[in-house]
């Protein structure tokens, strides 16, 4: 049976908020996954010529920002306070706000990526692959209700209640 070496995450304490994977969500406690009930409607970037072929079909996926994730109850001066988990807002576009909460996963998930292995001469080896654990995801953000209409995102950091 073939095996692939797996390396633990490389800890860099100087920059703990740097996220090499833009597709994942960053919470005050690390990375999280998102659970939605329904469909998100956001701009598709169809005006981008780089993403279109001559017949108008999609050629490749582009990076499209979905929205802004806000933790209104987060207090950076109290790192042990879990109140930030009770309410999370996801502002989608300018007109929708989804309210959710952070749940702890029963079984954490590991996010892995390929690790480039340098040979003796400083070149990248292509013979074997190695994997590196980027982060262990311990939380998910659950949005179980329908989106609410809002005016603008300018008041996104304020809590109306």
What are the boundaries of each domain within the chain? 22-42+58-109+137-149
pTM (predicted TM-score): 0.60
Provide block-wise average pLDDT over 10 residues at a time, the chain (161 residues): 73 49 60 78 52 48 70 79 84 85 91 74 60 86 86 54 48
Query: In the prediction, which pLDDT does 49 show?
Result: 44
Query: In the prediction, which pLDDT does 23 show?
Result: 47
42-67 as b/e, with b when 16 or more CB fall inside 10 Å?
A: eeeeeeeeebeeeeeeeeeeeeeeeb
User: Are 59 and 52 a contacting pair, CB within 8 Å?
Assistant: yes
Among candidates 139, 135, 109, 122, which has minimal Cα distance to 10?
Answer: 135
């Amino acid at each position: 049976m073939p095996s692939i070496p797996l390396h633990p995450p490389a800890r860099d304490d100087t920059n703990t908020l740097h996220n090499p994977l833009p597709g994942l969500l960053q919470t005050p406690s690390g990375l999280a996954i998102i659970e939605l009930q329904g469909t998100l409607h956001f701009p598709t970037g169809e005006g981008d010529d780089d993403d279109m072929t001559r017949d108008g079909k999609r050629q490749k996926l582009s990076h499209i920002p979905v929205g802004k994730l806000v933790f209104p109850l987060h207090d950076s001066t109290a790192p042990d306070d879990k109140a930030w988990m009770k309410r999370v807002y996801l502002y989608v576009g300018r007109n929708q706000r989804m309210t959710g909460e952070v749940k702890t996963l029963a079984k954490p998930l590991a996010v892995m990526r390929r690790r480039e292995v340098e040979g003796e001469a400083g070149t990248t080896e292509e013979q074997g692959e190695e994997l590196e654990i980027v982060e262990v995801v311990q939380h998910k953000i659950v949005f179980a209700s329908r989106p609410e209409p809002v005016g603008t995102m300018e008041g996104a950091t304020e809590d109306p209640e």
